Structure 1
Amino acid sequence: MHPLAETLLDEPVIAAVKTDEALAAALASPCSTIFLLASTLLTVDGLVHRIHDAGKLAVVHIDLVDGLSSREIAVDSLNALCHPDGIISTRPTLIRRARHRGLLTVQRAFILDSLSLTSLSGQLEQGKPDFVEILPGIMPRVIAEISTRTQVPVIAGGLLRDKADVMAAMRAGAAAVSTSAPSLWDI
């Protein structure tokens, strides 16, 4: 596992941000890790530096950096541009490339039906991420099933609205949760 994985898990709630206002709130929160879910090639460097200046881990959703392609070279470009601590991606090839470049990796998976649940094992084997983020994160039964099928720690993300949702995900086996709800960042 990546050396920064323990830091990410020190606090079970991860701030997920899409706007400058949300980033300002996350920087002031007790969360040690920030998932950057929206940026462009022109803004990502400044955003990552703000996160690092606050002493927090910056994990960039590479698929959502406007201006980057979905090819492996995008990982090298992002790393050279802003030196994030890690990346999030739905693409196993980008996860694998980032892992080889020494970045913390989070494979994001949307569990929509039994086919997406079944195909997840193959995707995790291909990319070998440090974490798998399951969306939506309000599915305790599915979180429990995935947690028993893989050794990859599970992050529950998406649609978590209150402490009960967070606790249900954690009881089901999630190692952490990512949420864009500032009211949950200090749990």
Structure 2
Amino acid sequence: MDFLKTVMLEKKIGATIRRVEDLNEAIHHPNIGTIFLLGADINILPSIIKKVHSDNKVLLVHLDMLEGAGKDRAGIHLLARMGLRGLVTTKPNLVKFASEEGMAVIQRLFVLDSESVKTGIKMASAVKPNAVEILPATVPRFVIQDMKDALGIPVLGGGLLRTEEDVRLALSKGIDAVSTSLRHLWEMNFEK
């Protein structure tokens, strides 16, 4: 899978949505192709999936924050049957289950120190997500390069991005794309 093409739609910024009420803004934004949904209820998820897909956008649900879905193989299978094509999780076993269902999967990693970088690489190597998302996106260049060298998959960044300069710096360090809830950053345009 060419993750940056099929999931990020060759865009550098994905919209993070924490409240379902904010979904329409991301769906109708011309610069946004991918929506990271950080909070929802399983009961409304089918309508969200349908709405996002009908607008030719990509929806990634952060499974750890989804209410009402089992955080196990059966829960992942249910989400796949609902039409969900991708998810984000911090849990390696869920990466494995979602991959088995044919979903695009992002392993979210919190980078606190050198040991967390090693642990994150080891964990992602074992379960083989389609991409990793590191938080915060403001990590040093060597962290991004170590992850890319070890994993050979795209590295996304999220968290602690406030300004356009922050986004440009993260991208200049090797991050392939970022996710952000800040609307003014959705306005950024990048040439291929």
Q: Which residue of structure 1 lines up, in the alignment, with residue 53 of structure 2?
A: 52
CA deviations over 1:37-74 (Å, ceiling 9, x no partner): 11111121122222112210111111111112322222
- Quick one: which amino acid aligns to residue 109 of structure 2? A
Match of residue 38 from structure 1: 39
User: What is the number of equivalent residue pairs in this alignment?
Assistant: 185
What's 1:156 paired with? 157
Give the Å deviation of 1:180: 0.7
SS of equivalent to 1:166: helix
Q: Point out 4+ residue stretches in structure 1 off by more than 2 angstroms.
A: 2-5, 140-150
1:38/1:64 contact within 8 Å kept: yes
Which residue of structure 2 aligns with residue 102 of structure 1?
102
Superposition CA RMSD, Å: 1.6
Task: Confirm or deny that 1:6 pairs with 2:5.
Answer: yes
- For 2:169 and 2:22, the matched residues in 1 are separated by 25
Amino-acid identity (%): 32
Contact in 1 for aligned 2:18/2:39 (Cα 8 Å) = yes
For structure 1, the residue ranges without an aligned partner over 5 or more in a row are none
Kept in 1, the 8 Å contact 2:157–2:179? The answer is yes
1:40·1:65 contact (CA, 8 Å) conserved in 2? yes
Q: Residues 109 and 4 of structure 1: is their aligned pair in 2 closer, same or farther, counting only changes over 3 Å?
A: closer
Q: CA-to-partner distance for each residue in 1:72-96, whole Å, 9 max, x for gaps?
A: 222101112x311211111111111
| Shift, 1:26, TM fit | 0.6
1:27, distance to aligned residue in structure 2 (A)? 1.0
- The CA deviation at 1:10 is 0.6
Shift in Å at residue 6 of structure 1?
1.2
Q: Normalization by structure 1: what TM-score?
A: 0.91
Equivalents in 2 of 1:165, 1:78: separation in Å?
34
AA in 2 matched with 1:46: S
139-148 or 127-136: which moved more? Answer: 139-148
Measure, in 1, the Cα distance between the counterparts of 2:163 and 2:90.
Answer: 26
Structure 2 portions without partners, runs of 5+: none
After superposition, the C-alpha distances for 1:117-150 in whole angstroms (9 at most, x for unaligned) are 1101111112101100001112233334423333
1:136-155 to 2 correspondences below 5 Å: 136-141=136-141, 142-155=143-156
Please name the residue that 1:87 is paired with.
87
CA distance in 2, matches of 1:162, 1:32: 20
Q: Kindly indicate whether the alpha-carbon contact (under 8 Å) linking 1:18 and 1:38 is maintained by their aligned counterparts in 2.
A: yes
State the TM-score, normalizing by the size of structure 2. 0.89
